[in-house]
Amino acid sequence: MSQDLNKILVFPKKFTLFLYFGISIGLLSFIYYAISGHADLAWSAFHVNFLFWAGVSHGGILFAAAMRITQSSWGRPMMRIFESFGSFIPIVFIFIIFLYIGGEYTLPYMTKDYVYTQKVFWLGEGFVFGRTFLMIGGLHILIYFYLYNSLRQDLAGSTLTQGFFSFLSKPLLENENNFDSKLYKLSIAIAFIYALSMSFIAFDFIMSLDTHFYSTLFGIYYFMASVLAALMLTVIISSMLTLKFNLQKVITEMQFYDCGKLMFGLSVFWLYSMYSQFLPIWYGNMPEETGFVGLRVFEDPYKTFIWAILTCVFVIPFVSLIPRTTKLVKPIIATIASVSFLGLFLEKIWLVYPSLMHDHFHIGLEIILVTFGFLCLFLLCVTKFLSIFPVYVAKDKYLIKKLESGDQH
């Protein structure tokens, strides 16, 4: 079994080439629309994808950190897949710079005069990106230390890694020990900084696009949707990997069953966090804030989106995941996760496009191609990670204990 736990995946070269092709298509499409008189379409598509994939990558790390904090064993077989999402995080940091470059289209409140006078400093481009780089940079440093210790625990003294990452395989030093304690402390710090930094991402890059709308709960809404999307994508990827690489001995149907229960619960919480944005507006009798809600819920074409989003993210998972049997059948739960994942992406379009495009709403080939490029880039990062490092947290005591006891949960 120890040999199985040190398994490193080898992905087909054709699949990797396909991912590079998809990235090229997305990049060329963005450049074409940006220089052909449709810069607003190109940057809006980039903005939506940045918010979505940044949330997914950080959400995967948060899931791994949550399992460390709670010392839970049910998801240990999938932990390295959650951690692999962190391989996209350096790309996120680079894309923040691109948002700054496209500020005229992505963050118009920094370049136009309609910002409230008392918000000029808070929403000024220097302070917006200063605090973003500070918080995201701090979170990324914690994540890098987390991933270093997680991988070092498994690889120290082995011959599994070569080249650039060979430092992870060096024998342990005298002061290198007690990885579980280090990872536990880092996980607590990551959870706290994640909540803070993702809340500010939501405030600065979504909520502030409509200067009349204000919600102190909007940060929770964004980062919970990101966590849910990360869970859905993990279910999709895990189901494919177990089929392709025969991982069923460790990632069993019971892991998917437990993920199904989480999908059910988080979908309900997602709906609550969405509804909680609107309740204070009604309860507090604040008509000046109804524009944000009214445009997205009652006016075409956005009202179509809200019904599609609710159906994909809440109705289908809620109804489908009530029976026990659906959570035990991998094709079914992977299909449910795929539908919900699509709905969560549509949600980002629903949140961002009305504020950026106003009366010039347009969804066409540009959002499809740019999204395809982002998807391929994310999958390339994840597959490269899993082709360099073991697919399991091989020396994690909770995983070892779980497998030795034969516990399926």
Mean pLDDT of 282-286: 73
Q: Please name which of 286, 145, 296 lies closest in space to residue 209, comparing C-alpha atoms.
A: 296
Does residue 177 carry a pLDDT above 60?
yes
13/392 Cα distance (integer angstroms): 22
Q: Is the pLDDT of residue 2 over 50?
A: no
Cα separation, 27 vs 250, in Å, equals 38
What tokens does 106 get? 């992505």
Average pLDDT over residues 268-278: 86
Does the structure show a pLDDT above 60 at 342? yes
With 90 as the cut, is the pLDDT of residue 84 above it?
Answer: yes
Residue 3 is predicted with a pLDDT of 46
Instruction: Report the candidate in 158, 182, 162 with the shortest Cα–Cα distance to residue 170.
Output: 158
Residues in the chain: 409
Confidence of residue 171 (pLDDT cuts 50, 70, 90): confident
| pLDDT, mean of residues 303-326 | 91
The span from the CA of 285 to the CA of 82, in Å, is: 42
Q: Regarding predicted confidence, which is higher, 286 or 262?
A: 262
pLDDT at 280: 76
> Of 313 and 1, which is predicted with more confidence?
313
Q: What mean pLDDT is predicted for residues 185-193?
A: 95
Residue in 273, 265, 271 with CA at minimum distance from that of residue 231: 265
pLDDT band at 49 (very low <50, low <70, confident <90, very high): very high
Backbone angles phi, psi at 211, to 5 degrees: -70, -10
Percentage, residues of the chain above pLDDT 70: 93
**Is the model's pLDDT at 71 over the cut of 70?**
yes
pLDDT, tens digit, 9 for 90 and up, residues 354-403: 888 766 777 788 999 999 999 999 999 999 999 999 898 888 887 878 77
| pLDDT attached to residue 216 | 80
Does 298 or 117 have the greater pLDDT score?
298
Rounded-to-integer distance, Cα 238 and Cα 263, Å: 15
Peptide bond into 301 cis (omega under 30): yes
Indicate whether 210 pLDDT > 50. yes
- The pLDDT, as a whole number, for residue 14 is 95
Average confidence (pLDDT) over 107-117: 61
pLDDT at 269 exceeding the cut of 50: yes
Which whole number is the average pLDDT over 277-288? 74
Calculate the alpha carbon distances from 383 to 15, 49, 369, 386 in Å: 10, 20, 21, 5
pLDDT tens digits for range 85-106: 999 999 999 998 888 888 777 7
